[in-house]
Every structure is written in C-alpha cells, then in structure tokens.
Homo-oligomer: A and B are copies of this chain.
Amino acid sequence: MRCFVPCSVDTPKSRLGPVLTLAERQSFATAMLVDVLDTLVTAGYRPTVLSTVPITDGRVTDRAAVTVDSRALTTAVNSRLAEDTPTLILMADLPLVEPADIQRLVDSEADISIAPGLGGGTNALVVRDAGFRVDYHGASYLDHRQAAAELDATIEAVDSRRLATDIDKPEDLAEVLIHGTGAAHDWLVDTGFELDTAGGRVGIQRDE
C-alpha cells in the first residue's frame, strides 16, 4: 500500500515555542518523524515523506523516500490521493505509534479508516475510495466523516490512544516521557526533560 508521511520540519510545532527554541523544535520534529518511519518500516511499509523542504538527515533518508512538496498540507495530500488508492496517510508527530496500530488501520474493511486525534483532528487515514479528498482544517475528523457520507463511502474509526496522541503542546511531552521508547523520547531525556509528579498531577520540567 502507498504510504505517505506529511511533515514540515522547517517551521514545526509553534505551540511548543514556550518550552523549545526553533532549532530544538526542528530537531524534536525530526526525532518524531524517525519514530513514525521506524514503525512503518517495521510494519512492512515503504513510506514516502512529503516534506515542505529537502531533508538530508540520514535517519530519515535511510528509512523513507523524501518528496519535496511546498504546498499546503491538504493540497499536497489530495494530490497523492488523486493518483491512486489505497493510500495510507500518517502524520509525522505521532511518536508513540506502534506497528500493531498501523495494522489495525489497514485491517479495517471500510472505504475510509480513520484515526482521530485528540481535539478532533485526523492523525491517520487509509483511503480506499478514489473519490475521497481530505481537508485538514479545523475539526477534520468530523469533516472527513461527512465527506465519506457524501460519497456513500463506509468509514471506520480506529480507537487508539497511540494514534490519537499527536504531540503539539508542552503538556503532550509528558505522554512521550511516559509511553515513548524511541528517538523522540530519548531526545527529550537528553535535552533535560523529565516528568514532574510533585503536585500529584503529572507535568514536565526541564533541567537548566
């Protein structure tokens, strides 16, 4: 199955700005991408990264083809969906995802299998209907359900915490520290982040 991982590692993850510099966000976004690619390769896929800029990091190029597409996310993905189906689209900021989660997406027999993100986004899709197009703006999970309904296409949501956990905000880093085992987890630890459970509520802190 064709498999694409859209990502923008040049200006990534602005919502992590309160805790990471731009250079750190670029480095962390790349680590998350490496984790996602590792999972896809282990699951038997040959992913193509759809990147807004060229990527030369060997950890990425060893695991995936890289296609530069500077257009907006929705446009870039729809261009691939217009070429052929079935197609798997997996976001690059899902460092917790495991091969079994990909299998659950692919095992679905629905025309569209979708993994909603927290907050109503769309973190992963398997598209088997040639007419389906994405729109990642806003509550895209609901919009994608509606789009499938308008095509009379069946849609199935995969209930996965790991697929739902896209890493956008400082509090999301706790999920990587708790559950992660790969490059993104190690990057956070090496950068001085650790869990803060002092108040009985779990947060993060960074050693200075």
Binding site for B on A (CB under 8 A): 98, 100-101, 116, 118-121, 137-139, 141-142, 159-165, 171, 174-175, 178-179, 195, 197, 200-202
Contact = CB atoms under 8 A, between A and B. Distances in A.
B159 A118 contact: no
A197 B159 contact: no
Number of copies: 2
Given A116-B161, A161-B116, A138 B178 contact: no
Contacts of A120: 174, 178, 195, 197, 202
A142 B174 CA distance: 12
A119 B201 contact: yes
Contact of A164 (B119, B164, B174): B164
A179 B137 contact: no
A19 to B, nearest CB: 16
A139 B202 contact: yes
Contacts of A142: 178
Given A120-B178, A139-B178, A164-B164, A101 B159 contact: yes
Contact of A160 (B116, B159, B178, B197): B159
